[in-house]
Amino acid sequence: MLKEDLKLAKRILNERKLSLVIVKNGTVLYESSASGIVDLVKAVISLKHKMWESSVADKVVGKAAALLLAYSKVKGVFAEVLSESGLRVLAENNIEFEFKKLVPVILDREKRTVCPFERLTLRVQSPEEAYRILRSLV
């Protein structure tokens, strides 16, 4: 079911021009067109354990997002853009992943400096700690 769910999440992400799609057992649990990590945090808070073993398609996955996805025990991730630190987190947590473009770091919206959420999780290793930090910002 993982491959089908990830395929469906990817298709919906592209067809509807969304930024985030979460699918489990063929059912869309969450979708968003908002940019940034805030909607992923909201999804994790609202869906809780329903995200376990789901598949997620996201426009941008950096370390902060990858730690949240690991916290949520997702099984598969597709990222249009994936950072090297995000890739490491997904791999270390045995989450299957696909991506279109791998980048050294996720930049802020102006593309001038490292994304503030990436900076917040720079030294964080634990998905639980990342969740506590990021949840407090929503």
- Tens digit of pLDDT for each residue in 62-101? 999 999 999 999 999 999 999 999 999 999 999 999 999 9
The torsion defined by the Cα of 109, 32, 43 and 64, in degrees rounded to 10, comes to -20
Q: How many CB atoms lie within 10 A of CB 98?
A: 13
CATH number of the domain that 127 lies in? 3.40.140.30
Q: What is the span of the domain harbouring residue 25?
A: 2-135
**Cα separation, 115 vs 108, whole angstroms:** 4
Q: What is the pLDDT of residue 111?
A: 87
Q: What is the pLDDT of residue 28?
A: 98
pLDDT band at 109 (very low <50, low <70, confident <90, very high): confident
First to last CA, the chain: 32
Q: What is the pLDDT of residue 137?
A: 86
Q: What is the pTM of this model?
A: 0.95
* Average pLDDT, integer, range 50-70: 98
Question: How many domains is the chain built from?
Answer: 1
Q: pLDDT (tens digit, 9 = 90+) per residue, 8-41?
A: 999 999 999 999 999 999 999 999 999 889 999 9
Contact between 76 and 6 under an 8 Å Cβ cutoff? The reply is yes
